[in-house]
């Protein structure tokens, strides 16, 4: 009995997280140092040092331009991400559960997986015009095939054993969906959400620049690029990386850890 109790209370040591943070900080500090040295050696306005870039971040934050751009981009990321997850999951589940649909649409999936982001973006703007929905749709279409592939894998791996257990004990379809089916799909959903966020935010910046939108981080970087203002490009890039990392660590990673907490 005590063995079972010990097993129930088994938790990972808390200082493991601190140790990882230490390594990350040391590694980033080294990168900043290399950057500072390179910039000091180059003495070029095309390679500003870390201090200069950090100053630009602070300046843009004080004028408010940084926050407005970040908010505009984050809204687009959220909309495109949500659309891609919903549509991609629906397609993936349908294909995973229905062999005929899987066989038929597999070729389409491969086509869309290999369609370059630039092509999707260009065609979206040509066909739909320079609107906000075009931006969101173009980004979502880029991500949907990846989500569909991952969710299809999840749907294919649903356990028949557990379905039978649910049937014999007459759990009913609501309890079966909630406690048997969805928990099996959750890890696939979490994995595609994490890889999805990384992909979506990068494509959103491209869309903002190419689509001629007047707001967002992509727009700022595009303007800075036209005057070769490397400092401003780096300032916005770094600010956005920080924001995405905050989303990743405060939302997605805890979500994934929660979904996987039963794993040994």
Partner 1 sequence: MNVHTSPADIAAAPAVRIAVAAKTWPPVAGRPAHTVLRAVNLEIAPRSFVVVSGPSGCGKSTLLNIVAGLDRDYTGSIAFGAADARLAFIFQSPRLLPWKTVQENIEIVLPDGDRRRANIPELLSRVGLSGAQSAFPERLSLGMQRRVAIARGFVVEPDILLMDEPFVSLDDPTADALRTLVLELWHRHPTTVMFVTHDRREAVRLATRIIRLGGPDATVVETGDNAGGRQSSVVADHDVTLSLDERCSAERLRAEQARVFGA
Name the site residues for partner 1 (rule: CB under 8 A): 1-2, 4-5, 7-8, 10, 161-162, 164-165, 167-171, 175, 179-180, 183, 259, 261-264
Residue (162 or 210) nearer to partner 1, CB: 162
In the complex, least distance from residue 11 CB atom to partner 1, rounded to whole angstroms: 11
Distance of closest approach, residue 1 Cβ to partner 1, in angstroms: 5
- Measured from the CB atom, the residue of 126 and 264 that comes closer to partner 1 is 264
Q: 4 or 107, CB closer to partner 1?
A: 4
Nearest CB to partner 1, comparing residues 38 and 165: 165
User: CB of 196 within 8 A of CB of 81?
Assistant: yes
Q: 16 or 263, CB closer to partner 1?
A: 263
Smallest distance, partner 1 to C-beta of residue 103, A: 18
Beta carbons of 138 and 119 less than 8 angstroms apart: no
146/137 Cα distance (integer angstroms): 15
Is residue 92 within 8 A of residue 147, CB to CB? The reply is yes
Nearer to partner 1, 1 or 41 (CB): 1
3-state SS of the chain? Answer: CHHHHHHHHCCCCCHHHHHHHHHHHHHHHHHHHHHHHHHHHHCCCCCCCHHHHHHHHHHHHHHCHHHHHHHHHHHHHHHHHHHHHHHHHHHHHHHHHCHHHHHHHHHHHHHHHHCCHHHHHHHHHHHHCCCHHHHHHHHHHHHHHHHHHHHHHHHHCCCHHHHHHHHHCCCHHHHHHHHHHHHHHHHHHHHHHHHHHHHHHHHHHHHHHHCCCCCCHHHHHHHHHHCCCHHHHHHHHHHHHHHHHHHHHHHHHHHHHHHCCCCC
Shortest distance in whole angstroms from residue 129 CB to partner 1: 46
Minimum distance from residue 7 beta carbon to partner 1 (Å): 5
State which residue, 43 or 261, has the beta carbon closest to partner 1.
Answer: 261
* Shortest Å, Cβ 4 to partner 1: 3
Min. distance of Cβ 232 from partner 1 in angstroms?
Answer: 47
């Amino acid at each position: 009995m005590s063995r079972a109790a010990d097993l129930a209370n088994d938790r990972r040591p808390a200082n493991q997280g601190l140790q990882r943070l230490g390594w990350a900080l040391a590694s980033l500090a080294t990168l900043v140092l290399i950057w500072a040295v390179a910039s000091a050696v180059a003495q070029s306005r095309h390679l500003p040092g870390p201090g200069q870039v950090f100053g630009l971040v602070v300046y843009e934050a004080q004028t408010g331009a940084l926050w407005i751009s970040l908010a505009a981009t984050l809204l687009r990321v959220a909309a495109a991400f949500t659309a891609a997850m919903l549509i991609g999951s629906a397609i993936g589940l349908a294909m995973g559960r229905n062999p005929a649909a899987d066989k038929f649409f597999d070729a389409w999936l491969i086509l869309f997986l290999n369609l370059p982001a630039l092509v999707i973006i260009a065609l979206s703007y040509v066909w739909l015009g320079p609107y906000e929905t075009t931006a969101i749709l173009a980004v979502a279409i880029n991500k949907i095939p990846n989500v569909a592939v991952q969710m299809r894998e999840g749907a294919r791996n649903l356990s028949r054993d557990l379905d039978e257990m649910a049937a014999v004990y007459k759990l009913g379809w609501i309890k079966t969906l909630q406690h048997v089916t969805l928990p099996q799909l959750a890890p696939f959903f979490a994995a595609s959400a994490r890889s999805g966020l990384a992909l979506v935010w990068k494509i959103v910046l491209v869309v903002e620049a190419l689509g001629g939108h007047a707001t967002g981080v992509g727009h700022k970087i595009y303007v800075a690029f036209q005057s070769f203002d490397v400092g401003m490009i780096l300032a916005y890039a770094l600010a956005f990386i920080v924001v995405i990392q905050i989303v990743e660590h405060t939302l997605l990673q805890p979500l994934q850890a929660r979904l996987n907490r039963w794993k040994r």
